[in-house]
Amino acid sequence: MKSLEMDLTTWGWNHTHWEPLFRATASEGARPGRILSEHKGKYRLGSEKGEIWAEVAGKFYQSVRRSDFPVTGDFVTARLPEGDGPAIIQAVLPRKTAFVRKAAGDKVEEQVVAANVDSVFLVSALDHDFNVRRLERYLTLAWESGSQPVIVLSKADLCDDVQARVDEVNAIAAAVPVHPISTQTHRGLDALAPHLEKGHTVGVLGSSGVGKSTLLNHLLGREAQATHAVRSTDSRGRHTTTHRELFVLPSGALMLDTPGMRELQLWTVDQGLEATFRDIEALAAACRFRDCRHRAEHGCAVLAAVEQGELSDERLNSYRKLGRELMHIEAQTDGALAREQKRTFKILNKSMKQFKKR
């Protein structure tokens, strides 16, 4: 196989990590690249030829799982065009990290939102839309993805008591860095620099109107994403980002902007839930019963902490709510798997009967 002579570090390629995976996956003549953006079945690919358009090979359409398709941030193997045609994506390299959620709609299916994100800015505005419970949801998704969460509290210029808000977030964020910022006054922006080193990929998550696109534009030094004013009544904004795209910042870091997602539905987040609610998990270890549900059981250390004022009712209710969502999705997933297994059994059984008739 041809040796890797090109330099993909502009798009976050790490030779030590990615080259062995590429060599184990690629077919003869294939070259590596990174998905920079998705556009309704077409992809913008960062490659040794620069940025080019790409399409997936036909075998992807035979897959039953949406998660098998490339997403923004993926490193892939592709056959590059000789002329002006598109590159053909042949395989997706094993993902280092992945943001996975339940796909929209009634079908029980996972959706990979972004891949190979090293850290993720969880952006929450310090205006009327500030919501600690939503941050707990974002933290759960971030920890489950394998990415390092960083909480960015935007619009600090609109808050009368920033430190009080920071203290409130620190109480639920354990050792996660918390940075209050303002793109209007430039407050706190320098503190983001350690998270924006060359080759480092940073994702951005947050509801619409919190200033994700404004922050990206500021870090880029240009208007790459459209922005709109938020409503004065509830500080909510319109979704200004319509697709996921990977941008190269002047520092050499890469930032992945995502469409605003107000209602993130969880997928499988066992580890993320434990990481986000470490305080409750630690208390639960002292409960009298191993299967304690922390509701009315005798000897429940979690309820005792609530009674003593060491744990708030709101945080415990948030933990319960996310736990119920997870249990519901797991039940749906098990049901969907059982139905698929039953369908497969029927097909095999029918095939065997037809074979015996011969």
Contact (CB, 8 A) for 271 and 146: no
Residue 19: band (very low, low, confident or very high) from pLDDT cuts 50, 70, 90: very high
Percent with pLDDT over 70 in the chain: 79
What integer is the mean pLDDT of 56-77? 88
Residue 306, pLDDT > 90, answer yes
- In angstroms, the CA 138 to CA 265 distance is 10
All structural domains of the chain: 9-94 (2.40.50.140), 117-257 (3.40.50.300), 277-339 (1.10.40.50)
Residue 336, pLDDT > 80, answer no
The predicted structure's pLDDT at residue 266: 63
Residue 72: band (very low, low, confident or very high) from pLDDT cuts 50, 70, 90: very high
Residue 200, pLDDT > 90, answer yes
The predicted structure's pLDDT at residue 346: 47
Rama region for 169: left / alpha / beta (φ>0; ψ in -120 to 50; rest): alpha
Helices (H), 126-277: 132-145, 162-173, 212-220, 270-276
What integer is the mean pLDDT of 120-137? 91
Residue 338, pLDDT > 90, answer no
Task: Tell me which residue of 252, 217, 221, 225 sits closest to 11, measured CA to CA.
Answer: 252
The predicted structure's pLDDT at residue 299: 93
